[in-house]
Structure 1
Amino acid sequence: MFVITNGITYTQIKRLKQSGLYKFFEDIFDSQSIGYQKPKEEFFNYVISHISEFNRKDALVIGDSLNTDIKGGLQSGIDTCWVNRTGQISPAEIKSTYTISNLMELTSIC
């Protein structure tokens, strides 16, 4: 598993360590280090090129932002899972592969 995030490297690592989740991820890809933000194609191309044996068919972008996480994943040909905690309605032009309301629901997808 990997983290892809728009944010400052130090802040994102600190958050992951404080939450106890840091140890579960192989690497963290952040916009500060990459030089592009999601949903830019360049961001996703960088991530894809830096994951050994990356296969779009086996990947899933999980995120809570339609305009960055889901849009970027879809533009890159990767399945997406929108974490929609507030019951928002997705615009017609951004349709996530999966939609869940809490992370526990991932067990039924992955």
Structure 2
Amino acid sequence: MQPKPYPMPVTTVLFDLDDTLFDHANTARAALATSTAGLPEFAGTDLETLYQQYSEILEEMHPRVMAGEYTHEEGRRLRFQRLLAPYGATRTDAALADFVQQHYSHYQRLRHPIAGAVPLLEALKPHYKIGILTNNRLAEQQEKLQHLGMTHLVDALITSEEVGVLKPNPRIFQESLARLHSRPDETVMVGDNWHADVVGALEVGIRPIWLNRTASLRPLAHVEEITSFEPLTEVLLTITGELLPAEKLS
């Protein structure tokens, strides 16, 4: 594969965090499986169906939490109250609180990066500025990066909590560029969420790369996509448009 001729050399790579560098989906699946194991209410329940219900509720509730409609703790309790109600589980407030706490403990313990994410950051770090652009809380994402072993590989962490808006709002992308002293035409945005990451980047003139791990239909054919972070050399070439020295990849 030959390098692509981009108008401006890349100096900066922005990444989403959840389900781009951090494997939230499979962590959540594993935590739900562990949390419901042995509970009679969930006997015979299809865990993928349970996860899809969990994911839909989270997608609805998270923006409301970030907007301040609920506290983070209230949002978590309400999510699980809605998730578990159809199964007749946790009928008391104490039982619900206990389930939520156990699930969160499992989720924290089971967290892991997307395959290839850490080697990719390690390869990029000596040559490019790296930013994390995430629709979440600062403290939570700082702790997550530390747990994943990524803190030292990131030059700037920009959260929607700090900026006051969610992706795809241009302000959060503009704040990322300002913190990294970068221009849109020399910056790449890598993310899994088409609307938040790809559309948001396009609106401010940043070249997006869609991490499409689920083989979904690509809405815009001209937007580049990758399906994983492996093999590393091919992903680096797609992101940067250049071949890095072999010794830097060892």
After TM superposition, is the score higher than 0.5? yes
Q: May I ask how many residue pairs the two structures share in their alignment?
A: 107
Quote the offset at 1:37 in angstroms.
0.8
Verify the 8 A CA contact 2:137 2:160 in the aligned structure 1. Answer: yes
What corresponds to 1:71 in structure 2?
A: 199
Distance (Å, rounded) in 1 between the aligned partners of 2:152 and 2:229: 18
What corresponds to 1:25 in structure 2?
A: 154
Distance (Å, rounded) in 2 between the aligned partners of 1:91 and 1:58: 24
Distance (Å, rounded) in 2 between the aligned partners of 1:58 and 1:42: 18
Whose radius of gyration is greater, 1 or 2?
2
Quote the offset at 1:50 in angstroms.
2.5
Deviations 1:51-92 (A, max 9, x none): 22x122221000000010111001111101100001000224
Are residues 1:97 and 2:226 paired?
no
User: Where do residues 42-81 of structure 1 align in structure 2 (5 Å cutoff)?
Assistant: 42-52=171-181, 54-81=182-209
Higher helix fraction (1 or 2): 2
Letter in 2 for 1:43: I
Quote the offset at 1:43 in angstroms.
1.6
Letter in 2 for 1:90: R
Cα distance 1:96–1:44, how it changes in 2: closer, same or farther (>3 A)? farther
Unaligned runs of 5+ in 1: none
Distance (Å, rounded) in 2 between the aligned partners of 1:73 and 1:96: 14
Unaligned runs of 5+ in 2: 1-129, 241-250
Aligned residues: CA RMSD: 1.5
Quote the offset at 1:96 in angstroms.
6.1
Q: TM-score, normalised by structure 2?
A: 0.41
What corresponds to 1:16 in structure 2?
A: 145
Q: Which runs of 4+ in 1 moved over 6 A?
A: none
Are residues 1:5 and 2:134 paired?
yes
